[in-house]
Structure 1
Amino acid sequence: MEPNKIIKLKDVASLFCNDDNLYSEILNIEISKTLTNRKSQVITIIQIIKKIKEKIEHSDIVIYGLSEVLIDIRVSKESSNIALVMKTFIVSIILFLGAAIAIINFHEDVNMTESLSSIYEIVTGQKENKPLILLISYSIGLGVGMITFFNQVFKKKWKKEPSPLELEMHNYKKNLDEYVLDITKHNNR
């Protein structure tokens, strides 16, 4: 949400009500206003209940879910697509080079060329210092294995389960939200 904006119940919670008129009245109850000097704000379920009780005194309220809502307060920035594409390109290049260097260093540490030479000699009986057929097939297999493991290239996934990357991103987002919620609560005291 943007700073200094009115937060209504419909912005922070879901609601079930038998009466349609009452339903829209409750959804439009003003809970709070976003702060201008902070990046995040916590709305507690107690604040929500108090605001509902101010409007509708004799109401039965049943709570399901979390007791706090974290609101991100952001000033909307106009960014160009060119800047976004450039940032994405630069980050992609840096990540690609970093991954390539990590793989190269790993292969040098375990001396992959010598290992593949030994395998080539065992299988064929001929000594070859740089068995290109094994090196090329190993490199292709490494790439295909990574693509298959992370399951990010194809639109249709083979399995219904999330990929390891999606799980890590979910855990990261969850931990980040918990951290921001704790810090925001601590700073509001």
Structure 2
Amino acid sequence: MNAVKVFLQTEPKVTVAPEQKLKIKDVASIFCTDKKIEKEILELEVHDISGKIKNDVIPALKIINVVHKYNENIDLEIMGDTEILVNIQGESSEWKLFSILKTALVCFILFLGAGLAIVNFHADVNMDKSLQIIYHMVTGEEKQKPLILLIPYSLGIGAGMTVFFNHLFQKKWKKEPSPLEVEMFMYEKNIDDYILDTTKHN
């Protein structure tokens, strides 16, 4: 009897509820010319979430073992990651009001920090003196506070940051991701790699 060819593509990360029994369809996609076998493989149980752990790892070898127990005459080809990170999330017990207050506090601290950084930068480079010199070069007059330069410059800082981060409006005018989105993606990827590595070794 000829072996049945099955292609299985694993997900790099899945989020599940506690005490959930994971089937292959929850962690991977499958293609097989025999749709009956494909449907049956998708329903095979591959992992059981138990205890109070927050993260778990499913190796691809475990999926291969489960499939071969179901049918030894299957030629299984694994594509994608060889290890699947399982993120276990229960219902949040955190109060909504507390979450809003915590977010507001973080935004306030970041606002103060960013403002302080901008003020210190302008103090270091003596921006007031620079604008006074530019105003004198253009108009021939000396002025302590050239508002005609200070006001557009201040507005330009905010507008420039908005354009740079490209994250103010839902519909973006640039197709590429913003620097903030790239940094968040790299941060989440590094966190997932760290969790995968520590969970696997523990």
Higher strand residue share: 2
Task: Report the TM-score when normalising by structure 1.
Answer: 0.92
1:117 maps onto 2:132 in alignment: yes
CA contact (8 A) 2:59 2:84 kept: yes
Aligned partner of 1:73 in structure 2 is 88
SS in 1 for 2:75: coil
Range that drifts further, 139-148 or 114-123:
114-123
CA contact (8 A) 2:24 2:41 kept: yes
Displacement after TM superposition at 1:79 (Å):
4.2
CA contact (8 A) 1:8 1:30 kept: yes
Where has structure 1 moved over 6 Å in runs of 4 or more? none
CA contact (8 A) 1:35 1:41 kept: no
Aligned partner of 1:183 in structure 2 is 198
1:109-141 deviation per Cα after TM superposition (whole angstroms, max 9, x unaligned): 111111111111111111111111211111101
SS in 2 for 1:63: strand
Amino acid at match of 1:108: A
Task: Report the TM-score when normalising by structure 2.
Answer: 0.87
Displacement after TM superposition at 1:176 (Å):
1.0
CA contact (8 A) 2:166 2:174 kept: no
1:59-91 deviation per Cα after TM superposition (whole angstroms, max 9, x unaligned): 111111110100012332244443333222222
1:170 maps onto 2:178 in alignment: no
From 119, 131, 136, the equivalent of 1:104 is: 119
Higher helix residue share: 1
1:82 maps onto 2:97 in alignment: yes
Question: How many Å separate the matches in 1 of 2:124 and 2:169?
Answer: 33
1:3-22 deviation per Cα after TM superposition (whole angstroms, max 9, x unaligned): 33211111111111223322
Range that drifts further, 72-81 or 58-67:
72-81
SS in 1 for 2:169: coil
Question: How many Å separate the matches in 2 of 1:148 and 1:81?
Answer: 32
Output aligned runs, 1:87-166, within 5 Å.
87-166=102-181
Between the two structures, name the one with larger relative contact order (CA 8 Å, sep ≥ 6). Answer: 2
1:136-159 deviation per Cα after TM superposition (whole angstroms, max 9, x unaligned): 111101110000011011222222
Percentage of pairs with the same residue: 49
SS in 2 for 1:15: strand
Please, which runs of 5 or more residues in structure 1 have no aligned partner? none
1:137-189 deviation per Cα after TM superposition (whole angstroms, max 9, x unaligned): 111011100000110112222221111111111111111111111111111xx
Amino acid at match of 1:110: V
1:12 maps onto 2:15 in alignment: no
1:49 maps onto 2:64 in alignment: yes
SS in 2 for 1:103: helix
Please, which runs of 5 or more residues in structure 2 have no aligned partner? 1-15
